[in-house]
Amino acid sequence: MIKENQKYFNRLHVVIDAVVIYCSFCLSYYIRFKNPFTRYLFGLFLPPVSFYRELWQYQSMLLVLVPVYLILYAKFNLYKPKRYQNQSTEYKNLIQANTCGILFLFIYIFFMKIEHVPRSLIATFYIISMCATLGERFLIKNFLHRARRSGHNLKHIIIIGFSAAAEAYIDRIKANPQWGYMIHGIFDDNLNENFQYKNIFYIGKIKDLEKYLQNTTMDEVVITLSLKEYFKLENIVNICEKSGVHTKFVPDYYKFITTNPVTEDLNGLPVINIRDVPLTNTVNKFIKRAIDIVGSLVCIVIFSPLMLIVALLVKKSSPGPIIFCQERVGLHNKPFKMYKFRSMGVQSPSKEKTAWTTHNDPRVTPVGRIIRKTSIDELPQLFNVLKGDMSLIGPRPERPLFVEKFKEEIPRYMIKHQVRPGMTGWAQVCGFRGDTSIEGRIEHDLFYIENWTLTFDIKILFLTVFKGFINKNAY
């Protein structure tokens, strides 16, 4: 039933998109040619064109444009099921598809030598179609979420095997009722009849699965076997496929494998890479390093007056050096000297290496308290970036003593050293700074490492500017 609903919904969605694109062009035409204010405004900057050509002259162009937009939407995965699709991902794909569509329009007009299509009309269409399709998808998404929360258009599923993966799967389904999943129960050979987890109850043993599927109409079977029971996997898959029900597999090793695993084809044998690090790619490394060099140079020039003032204040605040150097662990586990403006009184090396900074720490000077709270003490690290020890964006580096401690206590901690450490990072803009959860910090660092893109770096940079410099956990 869900498959049929999805098929009809996709068809309806294509029709809605076609109408929205067509109407967006009509509205753009009206604004460009019929509205007196815009007609006067555009007339100041563009060569005169006939403002009274009827819209039908553009129909042949629209007959090509609308299908191209729909094909682009399909190519950018905009017609895939939206139950658990991230809305920001959908919007990003939509913006990319619309941008490709407008580029196609320029190329089509040029090669077909279509006259009297002012650039202002194309620009207006781009803006209106973008806003209209974004708004359309927002409304559809919210309508579907409300319907599923109310118990409509539910996807009925069962779970095979109870494990840590099963718990994680159920937790996420329960936390997101807008996805519209109804879990009918769990099949497992090791549970008793009274077992339940968050009101999801035991149904029976795996040997009862085939009969159950014959007598019910499930939409999906989700296999969440524990690692030690993977020998049953082939038999379970055969049973599910025989019944014709859609089958999914949630691996019990999800905690130590990336959420976007890269699969290689080894002459017909699938090989899964445990972790994909985009910044190990030569092109990506070159782009990021080039941005680091240019960015650090620009920032050094911009902030040099401020750094000079801070240096004088630090020198006057207490005896000792202006710049504080501390050993940190960086790329490929190599130690380096990280620079900061000194914010504490001079202390013995042994105490400095082992002690965390605490709230109202008496070692922090009055000037140091201000520059730490505002992150100004971090500015000398721009020279670390220029040298290649650090990056503008990346996981924050830690002292060797704590690296040795955390690598034994926190799974996957050392993965953060596969990239250059940064002056700011995803964990920091999300609030994991200072005396906060190390586990939460590492989780965010790993997400950054596995999902790095240039736009992700730009997002972190903007978040740092607007909310990352001053932080309640920085003291």
pLDDT in tens, 422-451: 999 999 888 877 667 788 888 899 889 988
Contact 80, 100 (CB under 8 A): no
Tokens of 466: 């607007």
Quote the percentage of the chain above a pLDDT of 90: 36
* pLDDT (0 to 100) of residue 362: 66
Of 60 and 473, which is predicted with more confidence?
Answer: 60
Averaged pLDDT score across all residues of the chain:
83
* pLDDT (0 to 100) of residue 50: 47
Nearest to 198 by CA among 225, 172, 174, 177: 174
Question: What is the average pLDDT across 207-214?
Answer: 91
Least confident of 355-369, 399-413, 420-434: 355-369
* pLDDT (0 to 100) of residue 308: 94
* pLDDT (0 to 100) of residue 44: 43
* pLDDT (0 to 100) of residue 195: 93
Angstrom distance (rounded) from CA 75 to CA 159: 32
391-402 in b/e form (b: 16+ CB < 10 A) is bbbbbbbbbeeb
Angstrom distance (rounded) from CA 308 to CA 24: 54
* pLDDT (0 to 100) of residue 52: 42
Residue 49: which pLDDT band, with cuts at 50, 70 and 90? very low
**CATH H-level, domain 155-256: superfamily:** NAD(P)-binding Rossmann-like Domain (3.40.50.720)
* pLDDT (0 to 100) of residue 438: 82
* pLDDT (0 to 100) of residue 245: 87
* pLDDT (0 to 100) of residue 435: 65
Question: What is the average pLDDT across 98-111?
Answer: 89
Question: What is the average pLDDT across 23-40?
Answer: 71
Of 82 and 379, which is predicted with more confidence?
Answer: 379
- Select, from the ranges 28-42, 49-63, 426-440, the one with the highest average predicted confidence (pLDDT): 426-440
Contact 183, 173 (CB under 8 A): yes
Angstrom distance (rounded) from CA 285 to CA 397: 19
CA distance readout (Å), 59 to 29, 335, 416: 12, 65, 55
Residue 319: which pLDDT band, with cuts at 50, 70 and 90? confident
Place of tokens 């240096």: 311
pLDDT in tens, 151-192: 677 889 999 999 988 999 999 888 888 888 899 999 999 998
Angstrom distance (rounded) from CA 263 to CA 271: 5
Statement: residue 231 has pLDDT above 50: yes
pTM, full prediction? 0.58
Statement: residue 1 has pLDDT above 50: no
Of 312 and 436, which is predicted with more confidence?
Answer: 312
Nearest to 457 by CA among 429, 418, 415: 429
Statement: residue 42 has pLDDT above 50: no
Which residue spans of the chain are classified as CATH 3.40.50.720? 155-256
Angstrom distance (rounded) from CA 336 to CA 397: 10
Question: What is the average pLDDT across 80-98?
Answer: 79
